[in-house]
Structure 1
Amino acid sequence: MTSSTTIFAAKKILTMNSYQPIATHVAVRDGRILGVGSLDELAHWGDYTLNETFCDKVLVPGFVEAHCHAMNGSVWEHTYVGYFDRTDPNGQVWPGIKNITGVVERLIEIEQTLDDSEETLFAWGFDPIYFDDGVRMKLEHLDQVSRDRRILVQHSNGHLLNANRKVLELASIDATTDVEGVMKDTDGNPTGELGEMAAQFMAYKVTGMRKLDGINSNDLWSFAKTATNAGVTTATDLHARVEDQNVQAYVEVTKSADYPLRLVPAAAALTMSIQDGPSHVAQLKQ
C-alpha cells in the first residue's frame, strides 16, 4: 500500500541550500521530507494532497542546538530570575529582572507563597553580569528573603550558585572550609557564592533538591516544548547522566510519534570511571 504524500504550500521556504535557496512548496510522506521546490516540480512524486495551512507563512528548517541540557525542562518547576525575558514550555513569557533589588523582591514574593517551612526556595537563570551597578549577590541580599528557609539561586551559566546562611550552616561551610569554589570575602568569610561542582554539591546535598541531571519523561517533554518554541528540532543533552532512569526516559519519550525533538545525549565522562565508562556507552549504542 502506497503512503500518501502531502505537499505544503508556503509564502516562502528558506531551504538553507545555496543551490536552491528559496522554494514555495515542500512534499512530505510518512513524516519525512521528499523534496522542496515548486508545486509542478513536486507533483512527480505521485498523487498528493495540497495543504495550504502555511500559505501565508515563511518556513525554515528546524534549528540544531549544539550546546544545551535537558535540565532546561526541569528548571521550570522553579522560579526564573534571569535578566532577559524568557518563554516557558507552555508559551508564557516571564519578564527579565534588571537589577539585584528586583531579584530580591521576586524571591520575597515567592517565599511568601511557600507554606512548608522545610521547602527549599530554588531560583535559576540569575545573570548579574548585565547589571549596571556590578553588584554581586551576597548573604545580606538573601537575608532579606529569609534566614530560616533554605535558598539556592543558580546562575544562568550553571557554574555559579548562591546559597543563603541557612544552607551554609547546614553544609558546614564557614571560614575554615578549604574547598575549591567556596568564595570568601577579604576577611576570609564565605560570601554565599559557590563555584563549580565540588562547592555546589555541598549545598545541593543539604537542601533535598532533586538533582537537575536526573531527568524524567516530564522533563524531556518540557525540554522539547522549550526547544520547538524557539524553532529547534534537534538538540543535545550535554553532560548527560546515562544511567538507567535517564536512559529509560529517553526511550520512553522518543517512542512517541508526537515527540517533536531529536535528542542527542552526550555522556558525562566525569561521572563514569575510565574502566567502566566506555563499555557502558558502547552497550547503550547496541
Structure 2
Amino acid sequence: MLRRQFAAALAATTGLGALGLTGCSTLGVPSAAIPPGGVQLLYWGGPILTMNDAQPQVEAVAVHAGRIVALGRRDEVARWQGAATQVVDLQGRTLIPGFVDPHSHLGGVGLQAIAANLLPPPDGPNTGIAQLQDTLRQYIATSPDARELQMAFGFGYDDSQLAEHRHPTRDELDAVSTSVPIVAIHQSGHFAALNSKALERARITADTPDPQGGIIRRRPGSREPDGVLEENAYFGALQHLMPALSEAQAIRWLEKSQALYLQFGYTTVQDGRADPGGVATAVAAAQQGKFKVDVVSYPDILTLGEGRFMQGPYYSRSYRQHFRIGGVKLTLDGSPQGKTAWLTQPYVQPPAGQPRSYAGYGVMSDAQATAQMEKAFAHNWQILVHANGDAAIDQMILAVQTARARYDGATPMRDRRPVLIHGQTLRHDQVAALRRLGIFPSLFPMHTYYWGDWHRSEVLGDPRAQNISPTGWVLAQGLRFTTHHDAPVVLPSSIRVLDATVNRRTRSGQVLGPEHRVTPWVALQAMTLWAAYQHFEEDHKGSIELGKLADFAVLSGNPLTMPPSQLSQLQVLQTIKEGVVVYQAP
C-alpha cells in the first residue's frame, strides 16, 4: 500500500507525461446529453490533483449540473466547450477535491464564532490570565452578542499556554464582572472556568456532588467550588447556562459557523455529538436553505431520548437540503492536554491535588459502554467513539468485539464502519485490533503542533508523546485513516491539519514521532477521499473522478511540489460546492 501511495505521489509531481494521459476520461454519455451550449464549467491552467491513485493528476476538468463529466488532457476536455461554457483559468493555482471534515462540532463552532476569543497565539492573543481578563472585559463592553445574551462566553483558553500554567479561577473571573455570568471554555472543550454568577446560575454549590465522569474542582481545604468544571460537571452545567435561543438566533449561529469552514475549503462538515436541540436547529436551517455545504450530524447516543431523529427522513445516506444524520456519537473519556483522558499508565505530572498514580478517568463502566455499542449495532447505526486515552480505546475495542460477537456471530462482518475518534494514545498492539474489528481510525495529528511540547513535558513524556496519533503504525497495518481539527478545539483550518500530518512539528520546532510523518499525497487523501469513505460517501465525493460531485477547493500553491516545511503558508482561495463558488478569498 505504501509503495502504491509513493508511486502515485511521485507520478503526480513529475509531470503529466509520466501519467500516460493519452486521452480524455468521460462518462461515455452521448453528445445529446450535453446541451448545445456545451458544459457549464471547464477548469484548466493549473495543477489538478484528483486524489485518485489510478489517475493522480489531470490537465482539465469539465463540470455540468454539479457533477464531473470529463477529465484528462486539456485538448480532449476542450471538446466539451460551447458558447455557454464558463472557462475557469486557474492561473497556476491548484485544484483539489473539497475537504471532507471527518470530525468536528459545527454547533460548537457557532458558539465559538460569537464568543470572546481566548485562544493563545497563533490563533489569539492570550498568553496569561491578566490578558485573558482584559479580553473578557473588552468583549463584555463591546459585543452585541454579550448584550443580547446577558452573559459572556469566552472560548479557547489553554492552561498549557498561559504563563501561569493553570486554569483561571472564579475569583479571577469575578474581577472581570460579578453581575454578568462568565463562562470561559477551555480550548479542549472539556473544561470551563465560571465566575460566581455563572456558578449560581448553574446551581453549583459546596453541597453539589461530583457527577459520574466529571469533577467540580474545589478551593484548597474546602468544598467550595473554585470555578473550574471538568468533563460531565461542565457538560451538565451547560444545561443551565446556555441561553434559550430563538430559532432565528440558533440558525444565525450555524451560518456564522459555516462561514468559518468555508474559508478553509470544506465542502462537507460534521456535527459530532449534537444534542437534540442542535439537530432540530440544523433541520430547520436545512429546510430554510441555509446550508451551502453538506452537513452530516452524529447525535449524542446518550441524549437520543425516543430516538425520533434516527427514524425520520434525515437519518439517511442521502442529503436533504444539504443535511443528513449519519449515525451516533459516544464519548468514553476526556482530553490528554487537559489530563482527563483515560490512560493505562499515569500522567507525567498529575493535576494539582491528584496522586502520582493518577491516569485520568473514563466516563462510564465497561458494561455501560458495551450496552451503548450494542444499541448502535442493533439499529445498524454507524457509531463514532471519542476515545483519547489507551484505556478508553481498550474499552471501545471490548465493546465493539462484544457487539460484533452478538450481532455478526459466524456471519461475515457487516460494514457498519465504527470510527475511533482521536485515538491519540493508540498503542501499537491496539492497531491490529482496529483492523480485525473493522474500526476506522480518525486521528488527531494537529496535537503535535498545538500540544506536542506539553505532551512531552507534562502529559505523556517520551516515548508515549512521540507516538500520539500514530499514523505510521496505522499505515503499516494497511489501514486508511482520517485527520481532523476537532473545531472548535482549534479553528477549522484544513491547512493546519495538512501541515501537522506531514511535518509533526511542535510549537518549539521539534519533530514528534518522525516515523509517523506521511507524504502530502497521503495527508490529502486522509482529508478528502478517505474522509468520504469514513462517511460512506466515497462513491460520490472525495476525489475528482467521473460522475462525482464537483466539490473543489482552489489552493494558492501545489502541496505536492512545494517544500513540506512551507505547507502552513498555503491559502484556500476558493471553495466550490457542486460547481458553485461558495467562498472567495478577499
TM-score, reference length from structure 1: 0.81
Shift of 1:116: 5.8
Q: Deviations over 1:76-100 (max 9, x none)?
A: 12211112444xxxxxxxx342222
Corresponding residue to 1:109 among 138, 141, 153: 138
Q: Pick closer, same or farther for the CA change 1:117–1:232 going to 2, 3 Å.
A: closer
Q: Could you say which residue in structure 2 is the equivalent of 1:165?
A: 196
Q: Is the 8 A contact 1:83 1:127 kept in 2?
A: yes
Bigger shift: residues 70-79 or 117-126: 117-126
Corresponding residue to 1:123 among 129, 154, 157: 154
Corresponding residue to 1:13 among 44, 48, 56: 48
Q: Could you say which residue in structure 2 is the equivalent of 1:51?
A: 87
Separation of aligned partners in 2, 1:283 and 1:176: 42
Q: Pick closer, same or farther for the CA change 1:216–1:24 going to 2, 3 Å.
A: farther
Q: Could you say which residue in structure 2 is the equivalent of 1:270?
A: 302
Corresponding residue to 2:285 among 224, 249, 255: 249
Q: Deviations over 1:1-59 (max 9, x none)?
A: 74441211132112222222222322111121223322123235464736144223111
Q: Pick closer, same or farther for the CA change 1:81–1:270 going to 2, 3 Å.
A: same
Shift of 1:236: 0.8
> Secondary structure, in 3 states, of the residue corresponding to 1:224?
helix
Q: Is the 8 A contact 1:98 1:131 kept in 2?
A: yes
Corresponding residue to 2:103 among 44, 48, 67: 67
Bigger shift: residues 49-58 or 24-33: 49-58
TM-score, reference length from structure 2: 0.42
Q: Is the 8 A contact 2:154 2:184 kept in 1?
A: yes
> Secondary structure, in 3 states, of the residue corresponding to 2:127?
coil
Q: Deviations over 1:136-183 (max 9, x none)?
A: 211222122012221111122221111101222344423222132311
Structure whose residues are more often helix by fraction: 2
Bigger shift: residues 47-56 or 29-38: 47-56
Bigger shift: residues 158-167 or 50-59: 50-59
Corresponding residue to 1:261 among 293, 299, 313: 293
Separation of aligned partners in 2, 1:12 and 1:122: 43
When the two structures are aligned, how many residues end up with a matched partner?
270
Structure whose residues are more often strand by fraction: 1
> Secondary structure, in 3 states, of the residue corresponding to 1:202?
helix
> Secondary structure, in 3 states, of the residue corresponding to 1:246?
helix
Separation of aligned partners in 2, 1:116 and 1:224: 23
Aligned letter for 2:117? Y
Separation of aligned partners in 1, 2:255 and 2:199: 34
| CA-atom RMSD in angstroms | 3.1
> Secondary structure, in 3 states, of the residue corresponding to 2:288?
helix
Q: Pick closer, same or farther for the CA change 1:228–1:182 going to 2, 3 Å.
A: same
Q: Could you say which residue in structure 2 is the equivalent of 1:80?
A: 117
Separation of aligned partners in 2, 1:280 and 1:78: 29
Separation of aligned partners in 2, 1:42 and 1:170: 63
Shift of 1:111: 2.7
Q: Could you say which residue in structure 2 is the equivalent of 1:30?
A: 65
> Secondary structure, in 3 states, of the residue corresponding to 1:237?
strand
- Structure 2 stretches of 5 or more lacking a match? 1-32, 317-586
Q: Is the 8 A contact 1:9 1:50 kept in 2?
A: no
Shift of 1:237: 0.9
Q: Could you say which residue in structure 1 is the equivalent of 2:325?
A: none
Which aligned pairs between 1:230-245 and structure 2 lie closer than 5 A?
A: 230-242=264-276, 244-245=280-281
Q: Is the 8 A contact 1:26 1:35 kept in 2?
A: yes
Q: Pick closer, same or farther for the CA change 1:140–1:264 going to 2, 3 Å.
A: same
Shift of 1:107: 1.0
Q: Could you say which residue in structure 2 is the equivalent of 1:195?
A: 230
